[in-house]
């Protein structure tokens, strides 16, 4: 056993070898990365990835361009001769190319059956045994003259058949259909454009390479419709560099009879389920209150998301909120990364049209040379026939008097001075064709061939004529397959942009703070039918204030801190609940307590602080407004003396200060100067004797007295007046504090 163990360890030691990581990356990772880039994820100048090309070419070989539809499983099986990645991957590729799925602006596969939908995440496509397909008519332009040596062919993966490296598409398909691909270290994201507009742009480029593409391409066009926001500068950048982004928006209509918003076109980059999930989330979190129900009503007539709303809803405002908060408005990022002769390039519109034009010029030259060769070969045969026609009886005589069949061709060659190919053609002629009519037609055909060959030669020598051929084909494609735009173009000015405040639903609320620091946010509507507050034993409501859902709530603590919250960010509750415990909600320090709460919409007004040492500070509330929306501010008020009283003031008012519960003074806050610093100690407002302090302060209307003016001080600091016994009783004041005890 010990020997076997030792042998095993030695084998493992010999198997494990140290490698330099850069060598491993170069030998293993880089070939994989290049394979994904070149052979899988990035489209080429014909607008196809290899998987698309293999599938469509297989269907072409199956005669599905003109024939009847066949089961998808049949096509998938045949495609595996070119694409060995498995039937599931092949069928998924086919689904995207079908008219039924709706992913392409110009579908290549005519389909029958359920192929799911581009705009639905959960609508699954049927199995291939249930669906049928054939090539769409436009594929005639994709495969135009492919049998005339227009493109290169290579062996398939096992060398049993040939497949094209590119398809000779007669229009810039790379721009007509959307193409998304993620390779290793790079990606491609090409939006689709309207076929007619692309043809116009291509023809303009063929005529003048300096033409402005923006004059012909109005903007992207998607199969799912919707709206594209046309930012001229951004699109100019996209057209020139191939990089950038733009915004897509859904289209809706309002059914007044049923009080329902109907979304009938959505951005290409999203789907129904994602939109519905997001709206439901917004309703659950209380950010959207106008929606009562949302459902998917998509049917055979097309996409529809129905949103039921409350009767009083401002539909336009609600939709602007939904555009901002949901994928009903989405961004499409462009990265026009295309493979050119095996090299990835990020190109603008002109760059793509340049390489596509070079590709088409080369394809047309190859097609013309192919035709030239075939016509020349036929002309050569007819030239031999013309020589025979000079003495047809001699030809018949040679054939009749030749003893061996193998000598017919040599004897004809010798008798008329023609070559073997011509002699074979003549020898294979039918006896019925040796008549005057047939011979005259062949001679006329030779004249036609001579003219055609001259035209081909002239075209091959003139690039202008070659470009004319491309233009003619583009015009025919535009005429046969051009269609109206599906995606509407709108200007940025047409979009209502909502501020953050407008995004927040505005309705009345009331906020409550208890002595034990429990907080409640309750809607005014809920308060109408509410019972008594649920509280902990011996707890009580200290502060309550009516405000709106857009208000900021300010909490001042006994540790000189200010905590700020947006009302809309806090959960709504009811009087029957304890509420939120502020130390947990605000992240307060240990033993810290909130001693004052107030609300504000615009940080107007001021804060008044009264301290034990008889000083008072008046600080502008705007001092607590922060651009960064900080949640906590330290040194929110002076820490030099304990705080007795805090009050938010929208206007100047009278306040009453008590000293040791024996003296009181009533002063007008206008006498207190406004300070810029939050931590200001303030000014002396109450004259204090040794060992005395301010023990309490009130708003004037909260101090019960038949003659408040008795306590008024005309200037500060004020000496105050002794509190009358009746006022002590009415205000439930304790006996005077003896600070000497």
CA Rg value for the chain: 43
- Chain mean position to CA 564: 34
Q: Which of 32, 130, 507, 722 is catalytic?
A: 130
Number of alpha carbons in the 13 Å side-chain half-sphere of residue 497: 4
> b/e string for 667-697 if b means 16 or more Cβ within 10 A?
bebebbeebeebbbbbbebbbbeeebbbbbb
3-class SS of residue 413: helix
CB contact set of 157 (below 8 Å; sequence gap of 6+) = 82, 84
Return the structure tokens found at 271: 């789907």
Residue 514: its H or E element: strand 508-514
Q: What angle, 0 to 180 degrees and rounded to 10, lies between the N-to-C axes of helices 463-481 and 195-207?
A: 170
Q: Is 596 a catalytic residue?
A: no
CB contact set of 164 (below 8 Å; sequence gap of 6+) = 53, 57, 146, 151, 152, 153
Closest CA to 87 of 71, 107, 108, 65: 71
Return the structure tokens found at 622: 């705007």
Q: What whole-number distance in Å separates Cα of residue 185 and Cα of residue 520? A: 52
- Which segments of 653-693 are extended strands (E)? 654-659, 663-668, 674-675, 683-684
Q: What whole-number distance in Å separates Cα of residue 562 and Cα of residue 623? A: 12
3-class SS of residue 625: coil
Return the structure tokens found at 40: 């899988």
DSSP letter for 724, please: P
Return the structure tokens found at 575: 């009087």
3-class SS of residue 600: strand
The catalytic site residues sit at 130
């Amino acid at each position: 056993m010990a020997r076997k163990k030792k042998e095993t360890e030695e084998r493992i030691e010999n198997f494990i070898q140290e490698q330099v990581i850069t060598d491993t990356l170069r030998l293993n990772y880089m070939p994989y990365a290049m394979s994904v880039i070149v052979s899988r994820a990035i489209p080429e100048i014909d607008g196809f990835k290899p998987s698309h090309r293999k599938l469509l070419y297989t269907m072409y070989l199956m005669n599905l361009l003109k024939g009847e539809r066949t089961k998808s499983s049949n096509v998938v099986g045949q495609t595996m001769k070119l694409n060995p990645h498995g039937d599931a991957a092949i069928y998924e590729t086919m689904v995207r190319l079908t008219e039924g799925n709706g992913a392409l602006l110009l579908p290549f596969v005519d389909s029958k059956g359920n192929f799911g939908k581009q705009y639905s995440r959960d609508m699954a496509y049927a199995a291939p045994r249930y669906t049928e397909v054939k090539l769409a008519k436009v594929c005639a332009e994709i495969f135009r003259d492919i049998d005339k040596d227009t493109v290169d062919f290579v062996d398939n993966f096992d060398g049993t058949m040939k497949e094209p490296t590119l398809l000779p598409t007669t229009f810039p398909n790379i721009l007509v259909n959307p193409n998304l691909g993620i390779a290793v270290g790079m990606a491609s994201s090409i939006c689709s454009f309207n076929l007619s507009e692309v043809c116009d742009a291509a023809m303009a480029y063929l005529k003048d390479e300096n033409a402005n593409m923006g004059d012909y391409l109005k903007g992207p066009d998607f199969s799912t419709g919707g709206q594209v926001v046309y930012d001229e500068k951004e699109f100019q950048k996209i057209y020139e560099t191939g990089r950038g982004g733009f915004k897509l928006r859904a289209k809706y209509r309002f059914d007044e009879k049923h009080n329902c918003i109907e979304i009938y076109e959505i951005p290409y980059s999203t789907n129904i389920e994602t939109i519905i999930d997001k709206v439901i989330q917004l309703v659950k979190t209380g950010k959207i209150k106008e929606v009562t129900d949302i459902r998917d009503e998509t049917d055979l007539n097309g996409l529809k998301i129905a949103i039921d709303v409350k009767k009083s809803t401002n539909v336009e405002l609600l939709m602007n909120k939904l555009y901002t908060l949901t994928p009903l408005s989405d961004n499409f990022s462009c990265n026009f990364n295309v493979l050119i002769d095996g090299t990835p390039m990020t190109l603008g519109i002109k760059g793509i049209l340049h390489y596509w034009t070079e590709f088409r010029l080369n394809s047309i030259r190859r097609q013309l040379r192919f035709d030239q060769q075939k016509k020349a070969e036929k002309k050569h045969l007819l030239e031999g026939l013309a020589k025979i026609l000079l003495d047809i009886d001699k030809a018949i005589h040679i054939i009749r008097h030749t003893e061996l069949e193998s000598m017919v061709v040599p004897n004809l060659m010798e008798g008329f001075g023609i070559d073997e190919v011509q002699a074979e053609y003549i020898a294979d002629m039918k006896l019925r064709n040796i008549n005057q009519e047939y011979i005259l037609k062949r001679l006329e055909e030779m004249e036609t061939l001579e003219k055609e060959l001259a035209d081909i030669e002239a075209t091959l020598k003139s690039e202008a004529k070659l470009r004319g051929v491309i233009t003619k084909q583009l015009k025919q494609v535009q005429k046969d397959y051009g269609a109206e735009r599906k995606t509407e173009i709108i200007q940025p000015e047409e979009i209502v942009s909502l501020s953050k405040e407008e995004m927040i639903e505005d309705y009345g609320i009331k906020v409550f703070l208890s002595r034990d620091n429990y907080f409640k946010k309750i809607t005014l509507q809920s308060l109408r039918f509410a019972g008594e507050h649920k509280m902990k034993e011996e707890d009580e409501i200290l502060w309550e204030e009516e405000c709106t859902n857009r208000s900021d709530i300010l909490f001042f603590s006994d540790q000189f801190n200010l905590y700020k919250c947006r009302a809309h960010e806090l959960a709504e509750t009811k009087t029957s609940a304890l509420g939120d415990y502020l130390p947990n909600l605000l992240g307060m320090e240990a033993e810290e307590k909130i001693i004052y709460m107030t609300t504000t919409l615009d940080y107007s007004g001021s804060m008044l602080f009264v301290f034990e040492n008889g000083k008072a500070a008046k600080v502008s509330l705007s001092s607590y407004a922060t651009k960064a929306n900080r949640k906590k501010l330290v040194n929110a008020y002076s820490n030099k003396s304990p705080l007795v009283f805090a009050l938010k003031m929208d206007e100047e008012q009278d306040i009453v200060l008590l000293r040791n519960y024996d003296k009181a003074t009533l002063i007008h806050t206008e006498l207190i100067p406004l300070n810029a610093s939050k931590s200001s100690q303030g000014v002396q407002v109450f004259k204090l004797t040794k060992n005395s302090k301010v023990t309490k302060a009130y708003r004037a209307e909260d101090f019960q007295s038949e003659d408040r003016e008795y306590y008024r001080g005309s200037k500060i600091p004020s000496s105050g007046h002794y509190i009358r016994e009746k006022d002590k009783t009415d205000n439930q004041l304790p006996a005077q504090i003896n600070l000497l005890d």
